[in-house]
Chains A and B, each alone.
Chain A
Amino acid sequence: MAGAQDSATPASTSSDQLLAFVQYLRGKKIPVSPADTLDAIEVAELMGYENRSLLKNGLAAALAKSRHELTVFEAAFDDYFQPIPERPAANANSHSDEADIPPPSETSEQTGLAEGGEDLLDGLRGNALFDALESQDESTLSVAIETAAAEAKVEEISLFTQRGQYVRKILDALGDEALREAAIEFEQSEPAAFEAVQALREQLRERVRDRVERAYLIHAAAATEDLLDESLSKLKLGNIDHSQMARLKRLMDRMARKLAARHGRRRRRYRRGKLHVGETVRRAIPTDGIPFHPRWRKVERKRPQIMAICDVSGSVAAYAKFLLMFLYALQDVLPRTRSFAFSAALGEVSELFASLPVEQAIERVNLKYGGATDYGRALQDFSELALAEVNRATTVIILGDARNNQADLRVDLLAELKARSKQVIWLNPESTRLWGTGDSEMLLVKRHCHLAKECNNLNQLERIIDKLLSDRR
């Protein structure tokens, strides 16, 4: 078979494990339907579990349905079906063959340090767990750990904070208690024996930790991720710290993909009642002029043309990064979107967004347009730059806090925008209660917009864009 040099997947792999893998994939946001699962089982039967790359290719065909999913699938497969690492001295056969020869590796070394310790350990011999550990008996150990894991109900793990607790439970079920007592006994009197026992216990703990980690990844990681995602979606965007940015970006990408899938397709609608005479006559030719197939005029749903203007000045510094990220994602979903940024002077940043990855693009925009706010100047720049292209199909979105340092905000320009465009939407990261306080001109601005909304978390954002895109006024 081709690719036979690849290391084999564990022989214990069975359809149970395949089901768990499917569960794992779902956790990774690959929607695997029950029908897909049945296919996967059939594929696995056909391909066999022996050849890793063969199984991977086969399952990929049945489970990953797009290029994006394929990348996720490949990483998930490699994570899940890790090839068995070769343990140098760990082999059940060699153990039974050479029972009298000193036990392998560290144990022998450490016990060798003090002959007295060696004798003391004899007291522990006979303890099944100790024997298995000392002789590195792979099969006995894994069976014991599996049994203990089942006893501790490790598959019910649901939060990452429970990991320690489950490790403890499994260790108890394994009978670690006896080893611990022995260790305590040796601690004062026999440091060498103490070391030896502790080293073995640490090995055992390591294995159990691996086992719990695996259970966590399969059964709980997805739920925990969902929980974190959900809380992040509700968190005020100004409060999101740097460490959460990666997650935020992922969420935004996913949101953009979702919105694109929902709205990216041009739907043709047939409006009953308006006959397309020409087409109907043409279609009637084969039937001798009798119009069997009436044709109706089509209504094409046009994608909205969006112009987005984003404030990146100091007063919204906490939000600016998020607002720009939003613009970036928006431009991904709706390629016809034109983006502008300003503090005082305003410029178009569509090109930047189209050509650079998000972090770099945002950095460049901040560098170029950051500074003190002047909405008046910005609106004037915008009018000169793009007002001519604003028409009945255009939606203008302005992202900013409308705090203008007491300067004139040029509401007249805003009014003109409102008159020319389909709609002007102002999204303000500040809570509605703060509108109009201090130098906020929001109450004035509100009158010159079709819609003014508070928008400071992902959920609000998604709802607004969704509405915007489905709007067919």
Chain B
Amino acid sequence: MTDTHYPALSDIDSIQQAFESAGYICTTRIATVVRLAAALEKPVLIEGPPGVGKTELAKTCAMVVDRPLVRLQCYEGLDESKALYEWKYGKQLLYTQLLKEQLGDVLDGAKGLNESMSRLHQFSDVFYSEDFLESRPLLKAMEADNGGVLLIDEIDKADFEFESLLLEVLSDFQVSIPELGTIRAHSKPLVFLTSNDTRDLSDALKRRCLHLHIPFPSVELEARIVASRVPDLAQSMTDQLVRFVHAIRSLDLKKAPAISETVDWAKSLVLLHARDLDGPLVQDTLNVLLKYEEDIQIAEGQLPKLLAAAAG
């Protein structure tokens, strides 16, 4: 089976390489799922703790296939007028006002209500045509000429009803607009949905998606990620830092540090010209890594143990 839309995604090894050169280091599992998504034309539902690169995956994918990324950020109360389409009411009103006189001309000489109506019908749906249609992200992704990448971010934050709305889009790649009919995607976009697991998604939605769970990376993988993002940091320092972060994640914290926080920490250590991971330095910069006062206190209490783990 070959894929014509996204030739860049037809082989797992080359996916890994392409992603790596775009600055995203991915496991075989992630590459496999991306490959399947392109071949089976199915959306991918990405789950995992915050900050493991779920959104980044979609962005990188758009970069690799060199197509536009359409992003829909979900929130409570998101509805079809913000996700699918909306009529440009203002423009419609303005046009009817402007065209009032034209209407007079059109209706000039018509006898009775029936004839006026039938004349009006000749211009039938001028006000409900694509000119007055405001495309929102989902429709935009369907309309893209050459496919693209659609990112539906944090789907778990949207209402339950919104999920049902997505079903048509995700399984058939089409949008029904009562006034216009069905708009079908010219070429199917790659779809990524992300979820932070704050609630269970409906089975119907899950069934339409390939499922990808991204956990916190292994020490080796995270060291590679940090090295690629912060090349200025010495190799030995990177290793220490990543082992330290892994030791911290094993503590019982309110919020475990994510990859992005590891990277931030690495950047700040470069700025501080740190050469070695020692007690005072860690104590001063721990707030980059941990975002709650309680967490910082827990980590400070365990500092010698954590540093020992970092030293390997």
The answer to whether B40 has its CB under 8 Å from any CB of chain A is yes
CA–CA, A126 to B89, complex, Å?
Answer: 92
Given contacts A36-B207, A46-B1, A67-B213, contact A62 B93 (CB under 8 A): no
> Could you count the A-B residue pairs with CB atoms below 8 Å apart for me: how many are there?
76
Q: How far is the CB of B141 from chain A (nearest CB, A)?
A: 22
The answer to whether B33 has its CB under 8 Å from any CB of chain A is yes
The answer to whether A467 has its CB under 8 Å from any CB of chain B is no
The answer to whether A254 has its CB under 8 Å from any CB of chain B is no
CA–CA, A43 to B35, complex, Å?
Answer: 10
CA–CA, A221 to B213, complex, Å?
Answer: 29
Q: How far is the CB of A55 from chain B (nearest CB, A)?
A: 9
Given contacts A265-B199, A267-B160, A287-B89, contact A53 B28 (CB under 8 A): yes
Given contacts A2-B13, A2-B28, A265-B160, contact A65 B36 (CB under 8 A): no
CA–CA, A54 to B33, complex, Å?
Answer: 10
The answer to whether B90 has its CB under 8 Å from any CB of chain A is yes
CA–CA, A264 to B16, complex, Å?
Answer: 39
Total interface residues in chain B, CB < 8 Å: 31
- Beta-carbon contact of A58 and B207 below 8 Å: no
Chain B positions within 8 Å of A43 at CB level = 36, 40
The answer to whether A384 has its CB under 8 Å from any CB of chain B is no
The answer to whether B211 has its CB under 8 Å from any CB of chain A is yes
Interface flags, A254-282, vs B, CB<8A=1, else 0: 00000011001101100000000000000
- Beta-carbon contact of A66 and B211 below 8 Å: yes
The answer to whether A1 has its CB under 8 Å from any CB of chain B is yes
- Beta-carbon contact of B28 and A64 below 8 Å: no
The answer to whether B210 has its CB under 8 Å from any CB of chain A is yes
- Beta-carbon contact of B211 and A58 below 8 Å: no
Total interface residues in chain A, CB < 8 Å: 34
CA–CA, A260 to B149, complex, Å?
Answer: 34
CA–CA, A27 to B207, complex, Å?
Answer: 19
Given contacts A1-B12, A3-B28, A46-B36, contact A62 B206 (CB under 8 A): no
Given contacts A66-B206, A288-B93, contact A58 B13 (CB under 8 A): no
Tell me the chain A residues, 16-62 only, with Cβ under 8 Å from chain B. 31, 33, 35-36, 39, 42-43, 45-47, 53-54, 57-58, 60-62
Q: How far is the CB of A49 from chain B (nearest CB, A)?
A: 15
Given contacts A2-B13, A42-B40, A261-B200, contact A61 B89 (CB under 8 A): no
Of B33, B36, B39, B213, which is within 8 A of A70 by CB? B213
- Beta-carbon contact of B210 and A61 below 8 Å: yes
Of A36, A62, A64, A286, which is within 8 A of B36 by CB? A62
The answer to whether B212 has its CB under 8 Å from any CB of chain A is yes
Of B1, B12, B33, B200, which is within 8 A of A61 by CB? B33
- Residue among B1, B47, B207 with the most chain A CB within 10 A? B207
Chain B positions within 8 Å of A46 at CB level = 1, 35-36, 39-40
Chain A positions within 8 Å of B207 at CB level = 33, 35-36, 65
Chain A positions within 8 Å of B200 at CB level = 66, 260-261, 264-265
- Residue among A58, A61, A66 with the most chain B CB within 10 A? A61
The answer to whether B54 has its CB under 8 Å from any CB of chain A is no
CA–CA, A39 to B47, complex, Å?
Answer: 20
Q: How far is the CB of B209 from chain A (nearest CB, A)?
A: 8
Q: How far is the CB of A54 from chain B (nearest CB, A)?
A: 7
Nearest-CB residue, chain B, relative to A3: B28
Chain B positions within 8 Å of A45 at CB level = 1
- Beta-carbon contact of A54 and B89 below 8 Å: no
Q: How far is the CB of B17 from chain A (nearest CB, A)?
A: 11
- Beta-carbon contact of A286 and B28 below 8 Å: no
Chain A positions within 8 Å of B206 at CB level = 65-66
Of A42, A65, A260, which is within 8 A of B211 by CB? A65
Nearest-CB residue, chain A, relative to B42: A39
Given contacts A1-B12, A1-B13, contact A58 B36 (CB under 8 A): yes
Given contacts A57-B33, A264-B200, contact A2 B89 (CB under 8 A): no
Chain A positions within 8 Å of B42 at CB level = 39
Nearest-CB residue, chain B, relative to A45: B1
Q: How far is the CB of B204 from chain A (nearest CB, A)?
A: 10
Chain A positions within 8 Å of B203 at CB level = 31, 65
Nearest-CB residue, chain A, relative to B252: A355
- Beta-carbon contact of B47 and A57 below 8 Å: no
- Beta-carbon contact of A64 and B211 below 8 Å: yes
Chain B positions within 8 Å of A65 at CB level = 203, 206-207, 209, 211
- Beta-carbon contact of A61 and B36 below 8 Å: yes
Q: How far is the CB of B88 from chain A (nearest CB, A)?
A: 9
Tell me the chain B residues, 127-142 only, with Cβ under 8 Å from chain A. none
Of B16, B28, B39, B160, which is within 8 A of A57 by CB? B28
- Beta-carbon contact of B12 and A2 below 8 Å: yes
Interface flags, A365-408, vs B, CB<8A=1, else 0: 00000000000000000000000000000000000000000000
Q: How far is the CB of A278 from chain B (nearest CB, A)?
A: 15
Q: How far is the CB of A25 from chain B (nearest CB, A)?
A: 14
Of B1, B16, B47, which is within 8 A of A2 by CB? B16
Tell me the chain B residues, 156-210 only, with Cβ under 8 Å from chain A. 159-160, 197, 199-200, 203, 206-207, 209-210
12 new A-B pairs (CB below 8 Å) besides A54-B32, A57-B29, A58-B32? A1-B13, A3-B28, A35-B207, A36-B207, A39-B40, A45-B1, A46-B40, A58-B36, A70-B213, A261-B200, A265-B160, A267-B160
Instruction: List chain A positions with a Cβ less than 8 A from chain B.
Output: 1-3, 31, 33, 35-36, 39, 42-43, 45-47, 53-54, 57-58, 60-62, 64-67, 70, 260-261, 264-265, 267-268, 286-288
Mind listing 16 A-B residue pairs with CB under 8 Å?
A: A42-B40, A43-B36, A46-B36, A47-B32, A54-B32, A57-B28, A57-B29, A57-B32, A57-B33, A62-B211, A67-B213, A70-B213, A261-B200, A264-B199, A267-B160, A268-B159
Q: Which 5 A-B pairs have the closest CB atoms?
A: A286-B89, A57-B32, A65-B206, A61-B210, A57-B29
